[in-house]
Structure 1
């Protein structure tokens, strides 16, 4: 097994930091949506529960297959991060486009 270089570790760290940032943004949009401050689609609360199983299963399978093939630890971790990052990024972009809810003040 090849040991990861410092550049490999840095690349992995950036991927992980990006995933964390994307996930936190999605959580923020969804919480604002629950509070009525952000426009979210009907059923968003159920969607966030439904997507977890398939996303984590895909990450587990990808990392397991990389490990079985003899991948280095950084490659195994990168394989796990990739599908989660893809889902988090698409959710962030989708929710960000919706924008804040327009508040209506009653007279």
Structure 2
């Protein structure tokens, strides 16, 4: 049997990872807006459009977890899973692009 706090520790790790990865993605996107990080021209649209979809998926996952009788930490973990997966993929994708040494990324003209 796993201790009673194992599920809470898992949730805390998930939340901490989400916070660190989110700030990394935000930083790279902000640098991209300033032309210092290589981002696709569609990045600004993407960062707005992806949120409702993945938050909706999280709500559906949370409802399914509630109906399955999950604990509160289990429900929260299920709700976060679609968002954490997207943030992790965004971080990986943006990190691969790297800094824009030309200074033209994210700028029009």
* Shift in Å, 1:81: 1.1
For 2:13, the equivalent position in structure 1 comes to 14
Could you list the runs of 5+ residues in structure 2 that have no partner in the other structure? 104-109
For 2:57, the equivalent position in structure 1 comes to 58
Equivalent-residue separation in structure 2 for 1:58 and 1:33 (angstroms): 28
Equivalent residue runs for 1:81-96 within 5 Å:
81-96=80-95
Equivalent-residue separation in structure 1 for 2:32 and 2:22 (angstroms): 15
| Alignment deviations for residues 9-64 of structure 1 (CA, whole Å, 9 cap, x no partner) | 11110011101111111110000000111000111000101100101000010011
What TM-score does the superposition give when structure 1 sets the normalisation length? 0.90
* Shift in Å, 1:6: 1.1
Equivalent residue runs for 1:7-86 within 5 Å:
7-86=6-85
DSSP 3-state at the match of 2:56: helix
Query: Root-mean-square deviation (CA), in Å?
Result: 1.3
For 1:98, the equivalent position in structure 2 comes to 97
Give aligned pairs, total. 101
